[in-house]
A and B are shown apart, each in its own frame.
Chain A
């Protein structure tokens, strides 16, 4: 038994790893940094960089030495010269196709400082790379000057065709006076690409590692819309969510099992048929309709319950009612199927044959055996209690996890959504594990091998 449990726990690891991978792919690889979306359009590059720094988005995705920086992030020039357009001696030549990057023409006899949006990180290695083409007799150097003194000059080899050159430099303790420039003498130089990259301390210092470290610390980041640690928000939201979902859960099971038993008892009589028809109809009514009509009729028209808020138990009654009713159709149908499955087993026929009454068979024999699939269904549903009901919470103003989640999706609060997805998935995996162990423990037919 112990070996079975151990093996089952080991099987859990790849799934959890898979969940980590999927959340990483979804939010980091596909989504990318939500900084611009969250902070809005009119925000300094420095604020964006700080946002990224806090959430690890300014690192390479999986691995690598070099990462772009928002201090200079316009690497090629589409339609205009970008941050270079204010500079004297710079002119922009668009490409024949407007959508293709054009090029900058730098006049001779000037020095052009790289237009940085904010000063670079101190004591860090950077690399500047330029793709250029020279007219005859042109000379170009990459110049790095810090603290008033020229620190490094890299002479760029002459080339009539497009050529790429890069220079690596290290920033000092103070970077306010840092100047990275292109010094052009003689003829003019055409530039079609300029890159500035920051060097990581080690190549695995990546977003993936950052995420894994965060998870290892059980730190789920900071909500960007509420400016609070996500773990605190989640703990705060779990209570109201459970207060809503736990009663729904138990009421749902009890009512639907009772109705299913009733159906099984009166199988193929009008009452059973009525229940089947009603449950199919209930299944087809949209959840939203229950909420809206419930709020309208019981909250507004008849004034039985308050419609919005979370102050006393009365605020929970209506959402619980709606939650129970909306799930009833599916559940009654499902449990009825289970009961009827059991009804055709041999032991039931035997019980009838030896003269046990109909209700005796139903309650003492069928219900007991039908409990196995019922319990599985129920246990697997438990982790979903924690997310609460997204819709119920957001429309009855219950400050639980569902409400938090819907708001986070609406304000693209990546950290909150990611944490909810991740924790929900882990709880599901754990619930599955518990179900399987209970099975192995209770049901001798489950093979332990």
Chain B
């Protein structure tokens, strides 16, 4: 929240429909030409370090990552030992215990006496799995198709533009649910549903950037040297536009998490494991009997991670690509 400079924002939803981005001809990282030679990444990191809020978000994301890893560890360990994992252990004598900080259940227990904190940690694990795996599906599709379309142009470009405009025209959540229905209930359906539908935005951005870069002198020089197309695309152009991928990753992570919460809540997502959506679905009815803690802690957990990623994404965007800056305080 530092820069007072409001750069006119050329990125808006309206222009995402076409490739018309003529207003962005400011060069990024012109500072590269300065003798001391700071890299774009170093520069961005420095900017990020200066923003206290962004650093706080980074810490929060780190904390959640540790939680997710711990959850993964607990899950693996109980699978390995072949015993009921602690987050599934029922204790009917300890139903609905309200949260007390220094007790066995700092966040209380649910209707079957299961520890809310343990389940919350498992929910974090699932959320991270969904965020990462869907990114591993969507980002390569978007990057590769975008690069190919932008670089080769012509028929290939027409085909890829047709492909993504078709995907973009199908209502999002319904499409995700339809894919999950066809694949079958469970995490695989969630991964494929979210992964196969959310590559369009990235593909569009990458294609636009590649079109701009392919006539730059450095690309022409690489061509004159006789380098292959693959090498030019992935070794020369892609590193120059990779910041888009990073920013997209940061901003799509929270939306993937939210979608997973939806799907699990509707009973189409995770089966038989605690996920945030399932916890909300369980806590929903208990809330009416005054059992507020499960609902409250899950809500807080989702709020924290989504907020941290959203703010971090904005900060990263400002730091990495000044032209995409949201005119914000």
Q: Out of A289, A341, A410, A420, name the residue touching B268 (CB < 8 Å).
A: A410
Q: Which of B8, B306, B311 contacts A344 (CB 8 A)?
A: B8
CB–CB B310/A287 < 8 A: no
Does the CB pair B166–A289 fall under 8 Å? Answer: no
Q: Is A273 an interface residue when CB atoms closer than 8 A count as contact? A: yes
A366 within 8 A of B: no
Q: Are B6 and A424 in contact (CB under 8 A)?
A: no
Task: From the candidates A31, A272, A394, A424, name the one contacting B174 in the complex (CB within 8 A).
Answer: A424
Q: What CA separation (Å) do A300 and B290 show in the bound complex?
A: 11
Chain B: CB-nearest residue to A391: B262
- Contact in complex: A19, B12 (CB < 8 Å): no
Known: A410-B268, A421-B170. A288 touches B13 (CB 8 A): no
- Separation of A424 and B162 alpha carbons in the complex (Å): 18
CA distance A412 to B268 in the complex (A): 11
Looking at the complex, which of B36-44, B113-121, B209-217, B295-303 is the stretch in contact with chain A? Answer: B295-303
* Binding site secondary structure of chain B: helix
Bits for A178-198, please: 1 = Cβ < 8 Å to B, else 0: 000000000000000000000
Given contacts A284-B303, A284-B310, 8 further A-B contacts (CB under 8 A): A15-B169, A268-B329, A288-B262, A373-B14, A377-B14, A380-B13, A391-B262, A412-B181
| Chain A residues whose C-beta falls within 8 Å of the C-beta of B287 in the assembled complex | 292, 296
With A14-B162, A334-B13 as contacts: A284 and B169 at CB distance below 8 Å:
no
Q: How many angstroms from the CA of A344 to the CA of B266 in the assembled complex? A: 45
A409 x B262 contact (CB < 8 A): no
With contacts A284-B306, A292-B287, A409-B268 known, is A22 near B170, CB below 8 A? yes
Q: Does B271 contact A (CB under 8 A)?
A: no
User: Binary interface profile of B, 38-55, with partner A (CB < 8 Å = 1, else 0)?
Assistant: 000000000000000000
Whether B307 contacts A338 by the Cβ 8 Å rule is: no
Known: A15-B166, A26-B179, A288-B262. A337 touches B12 (CB 8 A): yes
| Chain A residues whose CB sits within 8 angstroms of the CB of B182 once the complex forms | 26-27, 30-31
Give the bracket for the number of chain B residues in contact with chain A: 35 or more
A428 lies within 8 A of chain B by Cβ: yes
Please tell me which one of the listed residues B167, B171, B280 contacts residue A289 in the complex, with CB atoms under 8 A apart: B280
Residues on B with beta carbons closer than 8 Å to the beta carbon of A287: 258, 262
Docked pose: A268 CA to B306 CA in angstroms: 25
Whole-angstrom distance between the alpha carbons of A372 and B15 in the complex? 11
- One digit per residue, 1 when the CB lies within 8 angstroms of any chain A CB and 0 when it does not, for chain B 227-260 equals 0000000000000000000000000001000100
Partner of A421, one of B12, B165, B171, B302: B171
A227-276 at interface with B (beta carbon < 8 Å): 268, 272-273, 276
B166 touches A296 (CB 8 A): no
Residue of A nearest to B162 (CB): A14
Q: With CB as the reference atom, state the residue of chain A lying closest to B302.
A: A286
Cβ < 8 Å to A, chain B residues 159-177: 162-163, 165-167, 169-171, 173-175, 177
Nearest neighbor of B13 in chain A, beta-carbon distance: A377
Is A106 in contact with chain B by the CB < 8 A criterion? no
Q: Mark B6-39, 1 if CB is under 8 A from A, else 0.
A: 1011101110010000000000000000000000
